[in-house]
Amino acid sequence: MKTYYNPEDLKKFGKIGDFQKSMADKFFDYYGEVFQEGALTAREKSLIALAVAHAIQCPYCIDAYTVDTMEKGCDEEQMMEAVHVAAAIRGGASLVHSTQMMSKVKEISM
Amino acid sequence: MKSLKAQQHPLSKIEYELEVLDTPINGLSFADKLADSNLFPLSPTQIDILQINMGKMCNQVCKHCHVDAGPDRKEIMTRETMLMILEVIKKGGIKTVDLTGGAPEMNPEFRWFIEEVRKISSEVHIIVRCNLTIILANPKYHDLPEFYKKHHIEVVSSLPYFTAVKTDSQRGDGVFDKSIKALKMLNEIGYGSEGSDLQLNLVYNPAGAFLPASQEGLELEFKKRLKNSYDITFNSLYTITNLPISRFLEYLLRSENYDSYMEKLLDAYNPVAAANVMCRNTISVGWDGYLYDCDFNQMLELKVASPTSQHIADWNQKSLLEREIIVKQHCFGCTAGAGSSCGGATA
């Protein structure tokens, strides 16, 4: 069955340079540097990536960073807490806009 | 849970296991990758370590066990075979005697053998790969920590994670709690304490089809969590990659993770780790005295390619040093990422 998302396509990510090499090279160099140990550990960065993957709902990223966080020694509880951070920010982002709704209600109400 | 052998599982037949493992990954074999790194044929550098499998009997039945060990395995090393090993140790040159199993302590000659090694040399380093729960399995084992201490033995123990759920999922219900109790017993007599030379090292291996975390980072995490939650200390954490043989191979095939796991190992091939594989300075001795390049080749019954010295009775150092190490696709497990050996990462 054909679907928009094919798990096998994740392995082809590196091939995006076939259509535009210099930009792809720059992107992957940057990507590689971002995930190196720095002021944040590679493990912390992987958990952030897992949370962001859920926030942007990217199936490729969710697969990739589920494996990566496990390979960084994280357990299921830590991974789920990271996803809850994403959910809290996403939910909070909706809810904080309710202040605009509340202001508008007040503006047009007697 | 029974061993694959007791289940008469197809993978308990070595021929079938080798047939699965002989398939190239993306058209490549381990030998091809070694050749790319100018390491083929793989040759020994020295023989420092004798790793001795004292038998396949074990009180646990871990899901990933490459030995397919368990209570239903009866293969056990005899005193006669141990006497031949002692003769080899007497010749000198062996720096480390590494005892494994199964649970090596279940061999009735276990303590006798260690005492005999110590009579030969107080300098030879002795390692026991203790599964921890054996210490609590029967009153006759309760004094094992004291025995280890008396003979100045390094204790290396598997603890896949610092939580019960992940540890028990791999090693069996209740294993984590018993392991914690055993670690406390070892700590109480000085093992794993800062400043003590009684070495207590833990082994982490992934509970699934993924690679281990960085040894350094995970060691810090283990130390913090075990100290804070259980007041347990240890010296080093060794991260070990699961090799695709025996029960772990069965898991990979059953869960349809085999192809992706092998590709992962291939993609993570590290030539530095390949140069440092443990088979280059180790000889593995089977429970029946036959010699192998490593514990994994032993389980695949791939005897050393040294026709005149394939059994401990025929030990010939020169011939063993001149042999070619036998490699198959499972060897990718020792060369992935930071590398893997019985002493942890190699690169």
Hey, of A46, A75, A77, which one would you mutate to test binding to chain B, going by the most B CBs within 10 A of its CB?
A75
- ipTM of this complex prediction, to 2 decimal places: 0.79
Amino acid at B108: P
Tell me, what's the pLDDT at B152?
A: 97
**Nearest CA-CA distance, residue A82 and chain B, Å:** 17
**Nearest CA-CA distance, residue A64 and chain B, Å:** 11
Handedness of CA B58, B200, B293, B297 (dihedral sign): positive
* Domain boundary assignment for chain A: 40-110
Contact check, Cβ <8 Å, B217/A42: yes
CATH class given for the domain over B4-335: alpha beta
∠ CA(A70), CA(A73), CA(A79), 5° rounding? 55
Tell me, what's the pLDDT at B194?
A: 83
Of the partner residues B208, B212, B217, the one whose CB lies closest to the CB of residue A41: B217
Residue A89 in contact with partner chain B when CB distance is under 8 A: no
CATH class given for the domain over A40-110: mainly alpha
* Domain boundary assignment for chain B: 4-335
Q: Residue B346: name the closest of B237, B239, B206 by CA.
A: B239
Q: Cα–Cα distances in Å, from A56 out to A5, A16, A63, B104?
A: 15, 20, 13, 51
Tell me, what's the pLDDT at B106?
A: 98
Contacts of A67 in chain B (CB under 8 A): 210
- By a Cβ cutoff of 8 Å, what residues of chain B touch chain A? 161, 163, 165-166, 204, 206, 208, 210-214, 217-218, 221
**Residue B340: both structure tokens together:** 């893997």
Tell me, what's the pLDDT at B83?
A: 98
Tell me, what's the pLDDT at B140?
A: 97
Residue A73 in contact with partner chain B when CB distance is under 8 A: yes
Tell me, what's the pLDDT at A3?
A: 86
B218 φ, ψ (degrees, to nearest 5): -70, -35
Residue A40 in contact with partner chain B when CB distance is under 8 A: no
Output the furthest CA–CA distance in chain A (Å, rounded).
Answer: 62
DSSP secondary structure string for all residues of B266-322: HHTB-HHHHHT-GGGSEEEE-TTSBEESSHHHHHTT-B-B-TT-SBGGG--HHHHHT
One digit per residue, the tens of pLDDT, for chain B of length 347 reads: 899 999 999 999 999 999 999 989 999 999 999 999 999 999 999 999 999 999 999 999 999 999 999 999 999 999 999 999 999 999 999 999 999 999 999 999 999 999 999 999 999 999 999 999 999 999 999 999 999 999 999 999 999 899 999 899 899 999 999 999 999 999 999 999 888 899 999 999 999 999 999 999 999 999 999 999 999 999 999 999 999 999 999 999 999 999 999 999 999 999 999 999 999 999 999 999 999 999 999 999 999 999 999 999 999 999 999 999 999 999 999 999 999 999 999 99
Contacts of B221 in chain A (CB under 8 A): 73
Tell me, what's the pLDDT at A47?
A: 98
**Residue B93: both structure tokens together:** 């040159």
* CA–CA gap between residue B91 and residue B121 (Å, rounded): 11
Strand order in the sheet with B200-204: B237-239, B200-204, B153-158, B125-129, B96-100, B49-53, B282-285, B291-292
Amino acid at A95: L
Of the partner residues A43, A67, A76, the one whose CB lies closest to the CB of residue B210: A67
Q: Residue A49: name the closest of B316, B164, A41, B189 by CA.
A: A41
Low-confidence spans in chain A with pLDDT less than 70: none
A35 φ, ψ (degrees, to nearest 5): -90, 5
